[in-house]
A and B are shown apart, each in its own frame.
Chain A
Amino acid sequence: DGGITQSPKYLFRKEGQNVTLSCEQNLNHDAMYWYRQDPGQGLRLIYYSQIVNDFQKGDIAEGYSVSREKKESFPLTVTSAQKNPTAFYLCASSSSGRVNTGELFFGEGSRLTVL
């Protein structure tokens, strides 16, 4: 079945450590996104990538880094510079076809807790 897989689902980190969240899609989508979700604040865009080897900062990129070496993979690293990293992280992808409603397909999310 086609979809987006995020791992791990739950992750605990000590302060000062970098962690990398995995996101893989087999939908053959060109565009991929990382969102952060906090209670009562909705989703905020961290980074997005429209094509392999290219990505742009979203609204809250500070303290995060990404790479897009393969079409199907868009890992997110939460660095020690991120001041408040405890959150639910959602990866998404979208098609770039001619008939494009802009719909995003989401993974199941990764919950990061800093101890």
Chain B
Amino acid sequence: GEDVEQSLFLSVREGDSSVINCTYTDSSSTYLYWYKQEPGAGLQLLTYIFSNMDMKQDQRLTVLLNKKDKHLSLRIADTQTGDSAIYFCAETFSGGYNKLIFGAGTRLAVHP
């Protein structure tokens, strides 16, 4: 079945780069997503990548996709305290309309 896995916790120093990793199982996923959730709030889309791309860059964010290994990563350059949040990786569910399968989320803690 479909599954998305992420490590649960990452701690980085302010100003360093953060790399959050994700593995997924559905090779037919059309899009893969990174969502951000701040405490007590809903999820906001950070970025997404189409499955025929290897890399996408958007300001401080870089997404890398390795389709062979079914591995997705999100790199945040110059991490700031405002980046502290939970980051969810998600893939489209090939068997259903606009259904997304989410990972458990990686809690990013940024310390001075």
B40 near A109 (CB under 8 angstroms)? yes
Residue of A nearest to B89 (CB): A42
Residue of B nearest to A3 (CB): B42
Cα A93 to Cα B41 in complex, Å, equals 16
CB of B8 closer than 8 Å to a CB of A: yes
CB of A102 closer than 8 Å to a CB of B: yes
CB of B104 closer than 8 Å to a CB of A: yes
Tally of chain B residues near chain A (CB < 8 A):
24
Cα A28 to Cα B40 in complex, Å, equals 26
B104 touches which one: A41, A94, A111 (CB < 8 A)? A41
CB of A2 closer than 8 Å to a CB of B: no
Inter-chain contacts of B100 with A (CB < 8 A): 102, 104
In this complex, the member of A41, A42, A105, A106 whose beta carbon has the largest number of chain B beta carbons within 10 angstroms is A42
CB of B102 closer than 8 Å to a CB of A: yes
CB of A19 closer than 8 Å to a CB of B: no
> Of residues 32 to 77 in A, which have CB atoms within 8 Å of B's CB atoms?
33, 35, 40-43, 45, 48, 50
B103 near A31 (CB under 8 angstroms)? no
A101 touches which one: B8, B41, B48 (CB < 8 A)? B48
CB of A103 closer than 8 Å to a CB of B: yes
Cα A64 to Cα B31 in complex, Å, equals 29
User: Can you show 7 pairs from A to B with CB atoms below 8 A apart?
Assistant: A40-B104, A42-B4, A42-B102, A48-B99, A92-B42, A102-B30, A108-B40
Which 9 residue pairs are nearest across A and B when measured between Cβ atoms? A106-B42, A42-B104, A43-B102, A106-B43, A42-B102, A94-B98, A108-B42, A102-B98, A102-B92
